[in-house]
Homo-oligomer: A and B are copies of this chain.
């Protein structure tokens, strides 16, 4: 039994958060761009990172700090990715040192992250100057401020929390996340920070995180570009006082189920708020000979620029769906494939056994004009399925990215 609750990353017991304006984004605006998340006690910690060969400096610093499987806090800025940037490693370390000084923790207690433009030097002086205020603002209702402070081109905050039961104890997991460009499967997509008061060992926390990210964040694509800064980390401080989860029993299953459901909603919220997006596109492939096949097919569909542009135009151009499946490198028989489009306005079959069906164009247009579209594909070869999430390709994506730096 999993319940959705308010409070984001401060919903779990013993977590405080804050977000303030430091001036990294711009000294002319008052946009929040620096956030802290602090646990009241040391927490088991795990993270998954971008598989991009070009990794931002904070990724390496965080990897080093998490070697012991423990962390207490997170410091993160938006407005500058601190990737390929002069002084990157020094600045990432300085962020931790500054946060440690302001909070009374150790620098090595911190997970550090940055997001924003690549290749420009981080304004570390602005961050250091704002850190005391950020620490002073830490509060048990600070999730909202932190979620706001990590936004870049996001139009909506991503902040979620769930409540569930482990061994008779109520546990909570909260998450904040940011999109919305340079987002593509096959990594720990984007920056996502997860907190929980559930007691679990670092090893199982890492295993749970990896498994859940693989079926949620790793199944999102906005634009096919895998960022240099992606990270999803989780802090588990044990303050729910459940019996420590230290093997794969039913408590572990309950934790995984909650984490998976939370991260799937995070994934959907990132996809729905993709840069310039006007619709959330879900591709759902069933009947595949393996889960890997289903995943390759479903991902390629949501990654196709042509499918994405057709969805923007509410155009039932299903041939592009088959074309994308065809270059996915996954095995399937084109002559077995059924395709239909579905939304709150109904469902319409457009292709059966690999060939076009006559269909009502007006109804198709109506179905495809909704905020969430599901592309249903049955390859009729087996029992495996996969769901992936993306968005349409719009004029605004081009506009946003034609001049992102200014």
Interfacial residues, chain A to chain B (CB-CB below 8 A): 51-55, 81, 83-86, 88, 117-121, 181-182, 184, 223-228, 303-306, 309-310, 312-313, 315, 317-320, 322-328, 331-332, 334, 350-351, 354-356, 393-395, 397-406
Contacts and interface: CB of A to CB of B under 8 A. Distances in A.
A403 to B, nearest CB: 4
A86 B394 contact: no
B84 A304 contact: no
B405 A315 contact: yes
A146 to B, nearest CB: 25
B53 A83 contact: no
Interface of A is mostly: loop
Given A182-B320, A228-B326, A393-B398, 16 more contacts: A52-B323, A53-B325, A53-B328, A84-B355, A86-B355, A118-B320, A119-B351, A223-B305, A224-B224, A225-B320, A228-B322, A306-B401, A312-B402, A315-B402, A393-B401, A398-B398
A225 B355 contact: no
Contacts of A322: 54, 83-84, 118-119, 228
Nearest to A331: B53
A81 B227 CA distance: 36
Contacts of A53: 325-328, 331-332, 334
A71 B224 CA distance: 41
Q: Which among A119, A227, A313, A394 has the greatest number of chain B C-beta atoms within 10 A? A: A119
Contact of A323 (B54, B86, B354): B54
11 contacts: A52-B326, A53-B326, A53-B327, A86-B356, A88-B355, A119-B322, A119-B350, A182-B323, A224-B305, A305-B397, A315-B403
Given A119-B351, A305-B305, A405 B317 contact: yes
Copies of this chain present: 2
Contacts of A121: 356
A310 B402 contact: yes
Contact of A309 (B86, B326, B332, B398): B398
A54 to B, nearest CB: 3
Contact of A313 (B317, B393, B403): B403
B354 A324 contact: no
A323 B230 CA distance: 12
Nearest to A332: B53
B51 A351 contact: no
Contact of A119 (B83, B225, B318): B318
Contacts of A398: 309, 312, 393-395, 397-398
A224 B304 contact: yes
A85 B355 contact: yes
Contacts of A55: 326
A225 to B, nearest CB: 5
A76 to B, nearest CB: 19
A224 B393 CA distance: 14
